[in-house]
Amino acid sequence: MSGRGGRIIKKRGGRGGGGGGRAQSNPNRNRFNVFVNRSNNNNNHVDDSYQRICISNLPSTTDRNDLMDFLKNKAYKPMLNFKGSEYKNSRFYFSVEKPEDIPSLVSLSGVRYGGVKVFIAKEDKSSFSQNRVVQNTAPRANNRKIESMKQQQFTSNKQMKLLEDHIDTNYTKSTVPELVDFSYLYTTKEIDFNDLKTIRQLFRLVSEKCKKATTISFTHNSITSLSPFKAMMTHSLDNIINFNFDSNKIANLSELDNLLDLSLRELVFTNNPITNIPNYRMEVARKFPDLQYLDGKEITAEDFPPSPIPPLRSNFCDSAERQQFAYKFLEKYFTAFDKNRSDIITAYFDNSKFSITYTQDGSSNPTRGSTKTYQRFNRNLKKQADIVKKTQLLFDGYDQIYNFFKLYPTTSHYLASSVIDTFLAPGSQYLNVVIHGHYLETVFKTKRSFDRVFILAPAQAGSEAAKNGWEAVILNEQLHVRPYVRFPRLEQQNGAIAAAPAVPDAQTQETLAQQLSIVTSLKPEFAKECLANNQWDLNTALENFKSLKEQNQIPPTCFN
Amino acid sequence: MYKNNNNSNGSNSANGGVNENLKKMVEITIAKATAFIKEFYYPLYDTERLEVLNLYKDPSISIWNGTECQGLEKIRNLLSEIPKSSHTIETFDCQPVQSFPNILPEDIDNPNILITVTGKVLYGTVSTHNFHQTFLLVKDPSNPQSLFISYDCIRLTS
């Protein structure tokens, strides 16, 4: 059975996959049309009888007449006449009657109009096709800045258009709706795939236009950095599970960290320097626990050489009963934390202690979103700080703790995919719960990993906690927040204690029994019994059933 | 005793609105935790591994990525099994752990301590991981001024 979405389709011959036949038709034509229509000129050639100046940094709502008067006065040119105006691409274009007036207007560049610094340049029509909007009249720093600014803007608009056209011609009409192919667009259309803006636009277009796509191909595009690909998080592109980066220039394993937010099925990095890194396959497989194929080869046990360290196992507990107790507490706690945070206040008491530490990844913007909050309250004791500060950052009692959580971003935790260790500290009645997991900041759409330690005591009868349905009260809690990274692959616990996960509710039991009954033809009641004997794990139950059946140990009366 | 800290982030008063008892306890806790991390546990673990055993007592447990080792003998086996390591600490934090319910006066001078540490660890020569480790240090009944590891719980997180 093949999983979600097809495999990456192998490179097609030559440039057919990407370049497309119309690459060299004039990509700027649509830009000119706006202009041409306005000047009632039906030629495709630009032939406006007036030269124009271009004014940037003002909103479209600006009063044009007032702006024109202002410029006339500032330039000391009472005889100066404007012949029409246009607002396009966030800029005003004013046609100037006499070309000799233009230099004095351009020299006003940098003047404040209504408190806003405006930039003025002469429009150079002939340079459109060369990607240069403005030709400098004087080599002033300002003008150079404008030029590069405009060039960027222009390039970005142009790329947007190219990408859109590309999708329309190559994807929309394609017979393979699973594949979006952007191969060769760097060489044929100069699209820069290392540019954040480009990739953002690209993913926006993909999320709008390629809803059935599961595979994106970026082969032959001179990609060196994958950091723009982080932008995928802001679009819901969970359907994209295969990426083809064949024949690019990706050289560092750390570049792959930009894709960690994704659940990937297949990756291709053939003909990239990265494949020469020692242990390349192992490192990639380790980073992406869901990955099934790398460079067209299935990931197998061979890709994981014997590890020098003892096996990593899943959830530890010293007693199944306490584990249940802890899970129940966490379930209630994180549901409240995500949905109705003020409810957590009663899980703390007068002397509860809480503190937070934080590690940042290189690329995150420290002034943006929640990062600021984490940083401000980061109690990392490795760093120097005076004792008053260190004491203040140890939140003491439910008031202080809840006041902190009011500042904490809104979250959505994924408890089911967490790793949770539960145990008593030797010789005490305190239950220690260490949980490693991740959450989504629902506003900023940022995923974070966290490690959170709770020391719990049973809630006293009649206490505030007990009255609010908490079976335990939090004595100590330490939270560590870090960039989202997938947890390493774990071996399943074996042994009697560990193999006692939560017993599913009645409805889940019914569903499981039904499934087992269908596969095995066992009567439902025997299917249920079989599951109950195998800790409600469908796979274990099925395996044991098979081996018992082979040994003819199941009486025929058990079957339908 | 440590309550009445209503101005939670208080910065108006001379001591920053911080309760003096809490401040004293924090100071002691941090000094002990810092020494434990920087002078004892990790330096010994990375150079003279078995010396680490002296920081445990017989009921102690050490949980290594989901596998529990209780008692000195099992902890010794675990320590011997793990290849040569090199830890780089990125963050650490500690909190005094108080008795509950809060009936007895707190032992301000020598509270039990919860420590959390994160960083990078290299095992052998190639295997680099992020790690998160939790310790509970508790009073040694035979020598109330010293602490020992009640438990430690480590997870490789990458």
Q: Over the stretch B124-134, which tens digit does the pLDDT of each residue have?
A: 887 789 999 99
Mutate one of A256, A398, A451 to test the B interface: name it (highest B CB count within 10 A): A451
* Class of CATH domain A156-303: alpha beta
pLDDT in the model for residue A266: 92
What is the structure's pLDDT at B147?
A: 92
Weakest mean pLDDT among A61-65, A526-530, A539-543, B133-137: A539-543
Task: Please indicate, yes or no, if residue B34 is contained in any of the structural domains.
Answer: yes
For residue B106, name the pLDDT band (cuts at 50, 70, 90): low
Task: Tell me the chain B residues in contact with residue A396 when contact means C-beta distances shorter than 8 Å.
Answer: 2-3, 5, 19, 22
Residues of the domain holding B95: 20-156
Contacts of A77 (CB under 8 A, 6+ apart): A101, A104, A105
B28 touches chain A (CB under 8 A): no
Nearest of B158, B143, B88, B142 to residue B118 by alpha carbon: B88
Share of chain A above pLDDT 90, in %: 32
Asked if the model's pLDDT at residue A161 lies above 80, the reply is yes
What pLDDT sits at residue A419? Answer: 95
Q: Is B111 on the interface with A (CB under 8 A)?
A: no
Q: What is the mean pLDDT of residues A57-75?
A: 82
> Quick check: B82 and A309 CB within 8 A?
yes
A348-370: average pLDDT: 80
> In this predicted model, which residue has the larger pLDDT, A318 or A507?
A318
Residue B138 inside a domain? The answer is: yes
CB-CB contact of A499 with A535 (8 Å):
yes
Does residue A87 contact residue A50 with C-beta atoms inside 8 Å? no
Closest CA to A448 of A437, A435, A461: A437
**CATH no. for A28-146:** 3.30.70.330
As beta bridge partners, residue B137 has B113, B149
Q: Mention every residue, 6+ apart, whose C-beta is less than 8 A from residue A304.
A: A282, A285, A286, A489
Nearest chain B residue to A424 by CA distance is B151
Concatenating the DSSP letter of every residue in A522-551 gives B-HHHHHHHHHHTTT-HHHHHHHHHHHHHT
- Name which of A149-153, A193-197, A272-276, B127-131 the model is least confident about: A149-153
Alpha carbon distance A123, A138 (integer Å): 14
Question: Higher-confidence residue: A99 or A504?
Answer: A99
Q: How far is B72 from chain A (nearest CA, A)?
A: 13
State the pLDDT at residue A2: 42
Calculate how close chain B gets to A214, using CA atoms only, in Å.
27
Indicate the range of A99-113, A141-155, A361-375 predicted with least confidence: A141-155
Task: Tell if the CB–CB gap between B18 and A487 is shorter than 8 Å.
Answer: no
Compute the CA torsion angle A113, A115, A121, A122 (nearest 10 deg): -20
pLDDT band at A445 (very low <50, low <70, confident <90, very high): confident
Facing B118 at nearest CB: one of A359, A423, A487: A359
Residues of chain B neighbouring A419 (CB-CB closer than 8 A): 66, 155
The domain A320-483 is placed in CATH, from the list 3.10.450.50, 3.40.30.10, 3.40.190.10, 3.90.1820.10, at 3.10.450.50
Q: Is the pLDDT of residue A340 over 70?
A: yes
Which residue in A373, A452, A453 has the most chain B C-beta atoms within 10 A of its own C-beta, making it the best mutation to test that interface?
A453
Q: Is the pLDDT of residue B153 over 80?
A: yes
Here the CATH number for the domain that contains residue B55 is 3.10.450.50
Asked whether residue B8 is domain-assigned, the answer is: no
B86 in any annotated domain: yes
Report chain B's C-alpha Rg in angstroms.
Answer: 18
pLDDT value of residue A34? 28
- Contact call for B92 and A426, based on CB within 8 A: no
What pLDDT, on a 0 to 100 scale, did the predictor assign at position A362?
A: 64
pLDDT for the residue numbered B4: 43
Q: For residue A124, what pLDDT is reported?
A: 65
Angle (CA) A498-A502-A507 rounded to 5° is: 150
Question: What's the pLDDT score for residue A151?
Answer: 63
Residue A19 has pLDDT above 90, yes or no: no
Q: How far is CA A310 from the centre of its chain?
A: 33
B93 chain-A contacts, CB cut-off 8 A: 355, 357, 379-381, 478, 480
Q: Determine contact: B93 vs chain A, CB below 8 A.
A: yes
Look at residue B12 and tell me if it is in a domain. Answer: no
Asked if pLDDT for residue A280 goes beyond 60, the answer is yes
Q: What is the mean pLDDT of chain A?
A: 80
pLDDT surpasses 90 at A332: yes
Cβ–Cβ below 8 Å for B63 and A453: no
Q: Exposed (0-12), middle (13-18) or buried (19+): which is B69, by Cβ within 10 Å? A: buried
pLDDT at position A160, please? 80
Highest average pLDDT, of A63-72, A496-505, A545-554, comes from A63-72
Interface contact B93-A460, CB threshold 8 A: no
> Nearest Cβ partner of B126 from A279, A480, A493?
A279
For the stretch A478-512, pLDDT in tens is: 999 998 888 887 775 543 333 344 567 777 788 78
Domain ranges of chain A: 28-146, 156-303, 320-483, 506-558
Reported confidence tier of residue B71, pLDDT bands at 50, 70, 90 = very high
Q: Could A311 and B67 be called an inter-chain contact, meaning their C-beta atoms sit closer than 8 Å? A: yes
Residues 123-142 of chain B with CB under 8 A from chain A are: 123-124, 126-127, 129-130, 132, 134, 136, 138
Give chain A positions within 8 Å (CB) of B34.
381
Residues of chain B neighbouring A430 (CB-CB closer than 8 A): 97, 100
> Which of B26, B85, B122, B153 is best to mutate for the A interface (most A CBs within 10 A)?
B26
- CA angle A443-A418-A6, nearest 5°? 80
Contact A426 B59 (CB under 8 A): yes
A10-24, A356-370, A434-448, B141-155: least confident range? A10-24
Q: Which among A316, A391, A427 is the nearest to B18, CB-wise?
A: A391
Residues A488, B18: C-beta atoms closer than 8 Å = no
pLDDT in tens, A394-433: 999 999 999 999 999 999 998 888 999 999 999 888 899 9
The reported pLDDT for the residue numbered A414 is 87
B13 touches chain A (CB under 8 A): no
What token pair was written down for B65? 């990525």
Place of tokens 């699209």: A191
Q: Is residue B151 part of a domain?
A: yes
B60 touching A (Cβ < 8 Å): yes
Q: B77, B53 in Cβ contact below 8 A?
A: no
More confident residue, A366 or A518: A518
Residue B18's pLDDT band, with cuts at 50, 70 and 90, is confident
What is the distance in angstroms between the Cα of B125 and the nearest Cα belonging to chain A?
A: 9
Please answer whether residues A329 and A196 qualify as being in contact, where contact means their C-beta atoms are separated by less than 8 angstroms. no
Domain A506-558 matching CATH 3.40.50.300: the answer reads: no
Record the tokens describing residue B51, joined without a space.
Answer: 């010396």
Structurally, chain B folds into a number of domains equal to 1
DSSP secondary structure, A270-313, as one string: TTSGGGGSTTHHHHHHHH-TT--EETTEE--GGGSPPPSSPPPB
Mean pLDDT of A80-97: 84
A89 exposure class (CB count in 10 Å sphere: 0-12, 13-18, 19+): middle
